[in-house]
Structure formats: C-alpha cells, structure tokens
Structure 1
Amino acid sequence: MSNSGRPHVALLPSAGMGHLTPFCRLAALLSSRGGGDLDVSFITAEPTVSLKEYLQIRDLLSSFPSIKSHRFKVPELSPSQFPSSPDPFFQQWESIRRCAHLLPPLLASATALIIDTASASAVLPVAKQLNIPAYILFTSSASMLSLVAHFPSHVISSTSPSAPLMSNILIPGLKHPVPAAWVPPPLHVPGHIFSTLTVDNGRCLPEADGVIINTFDALEPEVLAALNGGRVAHGLPRVFAVGPLVAPPPPQQMEETGGGDYPIAWLDRQRDKSVVYVSFGSRTAMSPEQIRELAAGLERSGCSFLWVIKTKKVDRDEEETDLGALLGEGYVERVKGRGLVVNGWVEQEEILRHRAVGGFVSHCGWNSVTEAAVAGVRVLCWPRMGDQRLNAEVVRRSGVGVWMEEWSWEAEGGVVGGEEIGRRVKEMMEDEGLRDSAERVAEEARVALGVGGTSSKEMEEFISRIMMGS
C-alpha cells in the first residue's frame, strides 16, 4: 500500500507522443474512476525527446493535481551507438531500458505498475523482484499486438534468422497472413534497434499480469478473440480492450493560452462535414517534394481543408517555416478562405470532433485512428512508417475509411502525385456510404464506452484488479 494506505498504481510511459498520449489518458481515467480510493503516480523519463511531450505531461499534472509526479533521470545516449537507427525516440526507449535498475526507489509505495511495451523486457523483472503486479499498456492496435506477440516465434522458425525478414507472416488464430510489405521496415533488418526491442519485448509478454489496449471489440473482434483465446502466442496474459481511451473532464481547468483557438475559429466558419483535416502525426516529416504534391492535390480536390504541416521529426528542431517557399509562391493566397495551413501543434481530438470536419487524410498512427473512430470521421489512409500499414488495414476492414495501398511510405522513397491525391480526397468526401460506415463505427464506440459496454466492463475489471493488488 501507499503511504496513504490506499492502492497505488504507477505509470511509466515511453518516448513519443503516440506512446505518451494513451498513458496520459489512462492516468486521468484511473485518477477519476478510482473514486478517491486509488493513488496514481506518473513517472517521467527526463529529458523528454520532444517539447510537446514535456508540455503534455505538464498539462496532465496541472489538470489532475491528485496525480503525483516522479522524475526519472535517464542519460542521453549518443547516436553513434546506434548506426542502424538515428531515431531519437528509439534511443530514448533503449535509455529507459538501461536504467530500469534505478526504478525501485520510485516504486517504493506502488502496489501496481503500468509500463510501455518498449521497456517491458527490462522493467518486468524489476517489478517481479519488488513483488509488484505489472501490466503493459500496448499503444497500438490489437493487430500490431498480435504481430509483436508472434514475432519472436516467427524469427526462430525462419530458415535463416540472421537474414532480412521478407516473407509474409501467418499469425496463428488469424484468417489472413500479414504481407511482408505491411511489416514495419526495421523488422526486416536483423540487429536494428527496433527489431531487437520487438523480439525481446515480445518474448516477455507472458511475464506481465495483463495487457491493456486502446481498442474495442467492434473494431477488432477477430484479433481480440484470438489473443484472449490463447491462439496467437502461448502464455499470453489477459488482454483488456478498454478503448477508445478518452480523457475525462479535468477537475481543475487549465488556463487558456489561446494558441489552439485559431484553427477552431476558422472551422467555426465552415459548413458541416465539409472540411478535410490533413495531418501525419507528431513524428512524420514529409519530403519537400511530397509536400508540394500534397499541396497541389488539396488545391485540385476543390474541398475545404485544414492542413497541419510538419517538417522535422522532433519539434525542438522545428524552425519557422516559410510556407510560400515550401508550398510555392501564391499558394496560401490561392486557397485562402477554403484552405488553412498550420505549421505547429494543434489539438487534434478537438478538431476531429468539430462539426465542420468530414474527412481525415491520416498516417494512421493508432491514436489518430481511434480519435477518428470516436468522432465518426472518414479516413483516407496514407501510412508512412512503423505499425501504420497494419492500422490502415484495421481502418479499411472496420469501415472507418479507405486505404490507398499502392501509395508509398517513408522507407520506399516514392512520391505520390498531386492529381492522384486530389482525386482520392474528392472521392472520399463524396462517398456517402463511407460516411455512414464511419458514423456506424462511432456509435459502436459510444456503446462500448457506455454503461454495460464491452470496454466499460473491461476497464471496471482492470481497475478492480489493481485495487486488489493482483
């Protein structure tokens, strides 16, 4: 028990907004739904890679003051130690793993621990040593979880484990094999830090007391049934599908900064369901050539659009962008009134819920997928890296959106032309069947989160477990 005599759950996220956001939402939910009988603490690995990570954690702690903050100092590793991957987020994952032995003082009063998959193989043994039940919050789709759980067995069964992974992957319990082209590119490269982490963390999943995942039964029924039916990998613990994770209203309102009001004010002037929202997440930076083709495509589509441009992978490296030079002289003026281009952070969840937004051109990061599903917004999938092709297939199968599978992603280096982009955007916005399908999924999400819904019951069972310290 904690010093208060109450159960105490500690959360340890990993690096990257795609990982941090669901941890913040889960922490807020646990703080609110614990009924004052559950202490919640948030362990932050410092320094954060991006400025937005620091700001999001600050806002969480300010909005939910009952959540206690613990700072976990980790060294900044040299990129030279990872010649196959200069990605600073992967390096932070490894830094957290290497410092796992320093966690016990921060867990002295914890009766349960929630960790990210990226650090599982290093942190689970520490929790076991301290006799603390440990759960994994998996921050992607159930489809990606099935790949991670099965991948170590796939590597072992390969005729040449040291050779690049190029074959399709047949995951037990699932009807369709995962095409090699959908597998995150680093997993094709033995010795890549992401590949090594995936194998190590996949192997240790059975050691966790449970896995929490930000999805819901109606979105991924086949995969969730296979995972909990023991068909994907031997010894997997219970998978709690508690999504879509939606943070509760904070007990303490944040002071308005005014920075995020401009896109909303612009949306307020647009017609219902008329705007295409275009964003490729917190880590995806397109090439200048692809940005210009996308600009041309949005102009050709004839649709109103709100486009968030990102030119650097890490926001601390972002500089003031000359939109005229990037998009072409006169572009901003030509689309003025029906198009808004933003170079900076926006509150995506708020934008997707706005009445004016009817479509979303997305990289299919999992938070973006679930936010679109809740909002009932059609998605045109353009996955760029990582788990995003697997997530795009979830979007396509569930009816939330469409996937242009032939469009290249970051590792392939191709450029999709503006004429093709414009045509596909227009088709999405005119597809009433797709609109109805997305709205159906939104209703399924609302039912799942409602009283007696599948996700609501899963969350209640999970909270009951951590309250009992099991």
Structure 2
Amino acid sequence: MPPHTRENGHCITPQIAVVVVPLPAQGHLNQLLHLSRILSSAAISIHYVGAATHLRQAKLRLHGWDNPSSTIHFHELPTPPFPNPTPNPHAPNKFPSHLLPSFSAATHLRQPVHSFLTQLSPKFKRLVVIFDSLMSYVVQDIDSIPNAEAYCFRCISAFTVLSFYWDAAGRPAPPPAIMTKIPPLAGIFPPEFSEFTNLNRSCRKISSADLYNSSREIEGLYLDFMETVKTTGTDKIFAIGPLNPISLQSKIRHEYLDWLDAQDHDSVILVSFGTTTSFQTEQIRDLALGLERSEVKFIWVLREADKGDIFGGGARAPELPEGFEERVRERGVVVREWAAQVEILGHPATGGFMSHCGWNSCMESISNGVPMAAWPMHSDQPTNAFLVAEVLGIAVRVVDWVYRNEVVAAERVEAAVRRLMMAEEGGEMRRRAKELGASLSRDGEMDSFITHITR
C-alpha cells in the first residue's frame, strides 16, 4: 500500500479511515460535521453516514466553513420511512417528542452501518468509528471488525454528563461542590424518550475514549473528575472543542450581516432558541414586547422547530404582534429562515445572546466571547444554563427552571435584556466572556486525539 494517495485532489494517508455516525438531530449532526471538517484537514479519510434526508440537512446548514463535499465522503444508508409530525407548541413538555419517529428509524442503521464498516475495513490499517452516544445501538457490532476501534462522542457538556450520572446515583456528595446546587432535573425529558435512551444505554460498551466538544478552560474540573472515577466507563477523555469555526471561512454573505456592519460594537443582542423550540403564540407576543420595550438592538431568529425530515412539507409560521416589525424596524431584524448563528456571534456588533442554552449555542457563544441570557427549555439545557450562569459567570437568567411551564412575561424579558446589554453587571459578564473566549484553543487535545488515532 503506498504511503499516500489522493481523494478529490487532496493528499491523504491510507492507513486510517474515520467513520462518523451522528444522531439525526441538528445539534448532533452539526457538531459531528464540524469535527469531520477538522479531521479532514489533517489528511484523514472521513466518511459521514446517515439517511439521505439528514445528510442533506447537515450539508445545507453547515456554516462558517466552505463546502465540505470535496473533503468528506457522505454515504446515504437506508432507513425505513417514518412519520413526520409537526411540532406541538402546546405540549406539556418542551422536549421535541415529534422527532422520536426519526430517531426510531435511525436505529435501523445498525445493519447498513455494519455492512459499510465491513466493506471499508480491508482498505485501511485502522478503522476509527466516532459515534454519537445516542447511536450506541447502531454501532454495537463493531467488535466483530478486528481493525476497528470506537470513540463515543458526547454532544452535551461534561458538566451535564456528570450531573446526569450523579442525579441517577441519588446525588451523593461529589468532590465538585457546586453540583449540589444544581436544581432538580425533573421535567427535562418526557417518559417516551426513556425507551430510546434505555435502548442505547443497554448497548453501550466501553469505547476507546470519550470525546467532548469542550475544553479544559471551561470544564477542566469536571473532565478531570470523570477521568478519575471512570464515570462513563472510561478514563480517557479528549476535550477537542470548540468544534465550531473560530475564524470564519464561508464566502456566503447574508443581508443581516450587512445590517450588523452598521451597528456599534457590542450593541446588538442575538435572540435564538435553536432547532427544537416551539413557542406558543402568547409567549412569542411577550417576547416581542419585551424586546421592543428594552430599546436594545436585536436580531431575532424566529422559526418553527425542526421536523424529523425538514424537507417534508411546510411548517407553522410563528405570528408576531400586529405592527411589531414596523415599530422596531430601525433597531431590530427578524430572521425567519435558517440563520448563520456562528457568523452573527462572531460579528463585533453582537454583544449578547438570548438562548435556550443548547451546547452548540453555548460553545459558539463562549468561543466568540459573547455573554448570554439563559432561557433553557429541555434536556441538557437547564444544566448548561446553570454552568454558564452560576459557574462561569457569563450569563443572566431570563427565568428559573422551576417556572418553565409558565409564559415568561414581557417585563421579565425586558429586564433580562437590559441587565445583559445595558447594566454594569452585563458589562462585567461581557468582559469575562471575552477573556474566556480568548483563552480557548482546540489545538492541544485535538492534536493529541489525531496523534492517538493515527499512531
């Protein structure tokens, strides 16, 4: 076998191939595609697998990088058709239960993924499989491939992973004392999600290492603790974040970036709640009124939550109060399509971020030195909000988790925006966020991980 070969015009090493197996949800697809993009720049053959609709989604929404298709191999694998219900803004739990049919369909990737790995294996000295922790069921047969090794990618923060394990163990007193102050985690997942998580947990084997989109500067205490006590079954952890691009390379220019160019530094707050949040009309109204009364400049990304297949038909268009956009047109922009969040957060005019605190959003905000207004909805978001607000000190809270089922009044929205963007308290958080962002570098542990898998 020659020492090097070429793929799509790029010189690569034939000794190793990396196969990436993401969960079909945007926050998971995105992180693993960012990781794939970084690894591909290290002359490694990268293979990103999944159902056709989810590969199309991942590529369409990648931002901050140039098109990945020339350096990453995308493999469409078969999954059965699945129901594609619309989000329910009135559901008793804000978790996106409407995505569960697509998650269930993804479990049928087990046989196609194993067949693909078996076919790829003879072509390389080593086959590295990086799988989402919620796709453990799909890769459970990897032990049958002698030159394959698996790495579990955890799309949530180390702080949250540790809190989940600690909560499940009955909350014994752990060394990181701050964890005793985490609010009860009841209500973060609906019962119907348990079947899916239990299926994956029952198939989870000890991987060669756990990978986190994080850094020691942010979560060193919790990463060290998990390594010491083998919380997840392994004592080898690579904190390889931030995975989002730090210096933007995209050549696409969006209109709202032109608007940002005309604003003062740190004067605009980005308002965005990710791809899984579906607000009631009453909440949209109060959020709009709070932003209007705050007199702070804003970009508000107002979209319905994703469906399991984002290309499968129309979606509800959230309604704004009558006349709102006209009244705020001099100082506010409402974006109703997919927005390049990384590019907005990286713009010097952006000085704050009102967010659901998904881990993608947290890392993008931290790496760009932007403080947050934390408004968690479900899953890992409440513990992420606790981390950025109470541990890192770079966020104000819009609402406490205990009030998650109530409509957040316009007065509370206004107060949170003003605290973050106009008060001395927010200025101090902005200073800390910029210092923390400036301290981040993925080079150390990313380089160590690359050295490890190419050994």
The normalised TM-score by structure 1 is 0.81
Instruction: Tell me the equivalent position of 1:177.
Output: 180
DSSP-derived class of the 2:338 partner: coil
402, 410, 414: which one pairs with 2:406? 414
Instruction: Tell me the equivalent position of 2:427.
Output: 435
Q: How has the CA–CA distance of structure 1 residues 387 and 86 changed in structure 2, closer, same or farther, with 3 Å as cutoff?
A: closer
Contact 2:187–2:378 under 8 Å retained in 1: yes
DSSP-derived class of the 1:386 partner: coil
TM-superposed deviation, 1:378: 1.4
> Residue type matched to 1:390 in 2?
T
After superposition, what is the alpha-carbon deviation per residue over 1:58-81, rounded to whole angstroms, capped at 9, x for unaligned? 99794351211211111133479x
TM-superposed deviation, 1:183: 4.6
Instruction: Tell me the equivalent position of 1:140.
Output: 156
Supply the distance in 2 between the matched residues of 1:93 and 1:311 (Cα, whole angstroms): 19
Supply the distance in 2 between the matched residues of 1:318 and 1:140 (Cα, whole angstroms): 30
Q: How has the CA–CA distance of structure 1 residues 331 and 444 changed in structure 2, closer, same or farther, with 3 Å as cutoff?
A: closer
Contact 2:366–2:433 under 8 Å retained in 1: yes
Supply the distance in 1 between the matched residues of 2:50 and 2:173 (Cα, whole angstroms): 35
Alignment of 1:264-413 (within 5 A): 264-314=257-307, 315-316=310-311, 318-319=314-315, 321=317, 326-396=319-389, 397-406=391-400, 412-413=404-405
Q: How has the CA–CA distance of structure 1 residues 301 and 180 changed in structure 2, closer, same or farther, with 3 Å as cutoff?
A: closer
Supply the distance in 2 between the matched residues of 1:246 and 1:294 (Cα, whole angstroms): 28
Contact 2:17–2:46 under 8 Å retained in 1: yes
Q: How has the CA–CA distance of structure 1 residues 392 and 134 changed in structure 2, closer, same or farther, with 3 Å as cutoff?
A: same
| Pairwise CA RMSD | 3.1
TM-superposed deviation, 1:364: 0.4
> Residue type matched to 2:24 in 1?
A
229, 239, 249: which one pairs with 1:241? 239
Supply the distance in 1 between the matched residues of 2:266 and 2:301 (Cα, whole angstroms): 18
Contact 1:274–1:357 under 8 Å retained in 2: yes
TM-superposed deviation, 1:437: 3.7
Q: How has the CA–CA distance of structure 1 residues 444 and 331 changed in structure 2, closer, same or farther, with 3 Å as cutoff?
A: closer
Contact 2:283–2:408 under 8 Å retained in 1: yes
Give me the identity figure in percent.
28
After superposition, what is the alpha-carbon deviation per residue over 1:234-282, rounded to whole angstroms, capped at 9, x for unaligned? x3241211111133879xx8774x5xx1111111111111111100001
TM-superposed deviation, 1:96: 2.1
Instruction: Tell me the equivalent position of 2:228.
Output: 229
Structure 1 stretch displaced more, 269-278 or 90-99: 90-99
54, 62, 68: which one pairs with 1:63? 68
Q: Are 1:109 and 2:120 matched, yes or no?
A: yes
Supply the distance in 2 between the matched residues of 1:60 and 1:426 (Cα, whole angstroms): 33
TM-superposed deviation, 1:184: 5.2
DSSP-derived class of the 1:349 partner: helix
Supply the distance in 2 between the matched residues of 1:243 and 1:6 (Cα, whole angstroms): 25
Supply the distance in 2 between the matched residues of 1:328 and 1:262 (Cα, whole angstroms): 24
Supply the distance in 2 between the matched residues of 1:231 and 1:254 (Cα, whole angstroms): 39
After superposition, what is the alpha-carbon deviation per residue over 1:294-353, rounded to whole angstroms, capped at 9, x for unaligned? 0000011111111111234435455584x7xx2222211111111111111110000011
Gaps of 5+ in 2: 6-13, 86-92, 122-126
After superposition, what is the alpha-carbon deviation per residue over 1:151-189, rounded to whole angstroms, capped at 9, x for unaligned? 6x64xxxxxxxxxxxxx74474442237564355326x3
Instruction: Tell me the equivalent position of 1:128.
Output: 143
Q: How has the CA–CA distance of structure 1 residues 355 and 60 changed in structure 2, closer, same or farther, with 3 Å as cutoff?
A: closer
Supply the distance in 2 between the matched residues of 1:407 and 1:425 (Cα, whole angstroms): 18
Instruction: Tell me the equivalent position of 2:440.
Output: 448
433, 445, 449: which one pairs with 1:458? 445
Q: How has the CA–CA distance of structure 1 residues 374 and 120 changed in structure 2, closer, same or farther, with 3 Å as cutoff?
A: same
Instruction: Tell me the equivalent position of 1:48.
Output: 54
Q: How has the CA–CA distance of structure 1 residues 12 and 407 changed in structure 2, closer, same or farther, with 3 Å as cutoff?
A: closer
Aligned residues: 427
Q: How has the CA–CA distance of structure 1 residues 403 and 44 changed in structure 2, closer, same or farther, with 3 Å as cutoff?
A: same
Supply the distance in 2 between the matched residues of 1:296 and 1:181 (Cα, whole angstroms): 31
Supply the distance in 2 between the matched residues of 1:370 and 1:14 (Cα, whole angstroms): 19
TM-superposed deviation, 1:27: 0.5
> Residue type matched to 1:48 in 2?
H
Q: Are 1:16 and 2:3 matched, yes or no?
A: no
Contact 1:359–1:377 under 8 Å retained in 2: yes
Supply the distance in 2 between the matched residues of 1:288 and 1:330 (Cα, whole angstroms): 15
Supply the distance in 1 between the matched residues of 2:430 and 2:113 (Cα, whole angstroms): 43
Supply the distance in 2 between the matched residues of 1:328 and 1:249 (Cα, whole angstroms): 37
Supply the distance in 2 between the matched residues of 1:55 and 1:344 (Cα, whole angstroms): 13
Structure 1 stretch displaced more, 22-31 or 106-115: 106-115
Q: Are 1:263 and 2:250 matched, yes or no?
A: no
Q: How has the CA–CA distance of structure 1 residues 118 and 416 changed in structure 2, closer, same or farther, with 3 Å as cutoff?
A: same
Supply the distance in 1 between the matched residues of 2:110 and 2:98 (Cα, whole angstroms): 19
Q: How has the CA–CA distance of structure 1 residues 293 and 53 changed in structure 2, closer, same or farther, with 3 Å as cutoff?
A: same
Contact 1:28–1:64 under 8 Å retained in 2: no
Instruction: Tell me the equivalent position of 2:417.
Output: 425
Contact 1:148–1:202 under 8 Å retained in 2: no
Supply the distance in 2 between the matched residues of 1:305 and 1:197 (Cα, whole angstroms): 38
DSSP-derived class of the 1:211 partner: strand
DSSP-derived class of the 1:336 partner: coil
Instruction: Tell me the equivalent position of 2:212.
Output: 213
Supply the distance in 2 between the matched residues of 1:66 and 1:22 (Cα, whole angstroms): 17
TM-superposed deviation, 1:54: 5.2
The normalised TM-score by structure 2 is 0.84
Q: How has the CA–CA distance of structure 1 residues 48 and 413 changed in structure 2, closer, same or farther, with 3 Å as cutoff?
A: same
> Residue type matched to 1:241 in 2?
A
Supply the distance in 1 between the matched residues of 2:236 and 2:294 (Cα, whole angstroms): 46
> Residue type matched to 2:395 in 1?
G
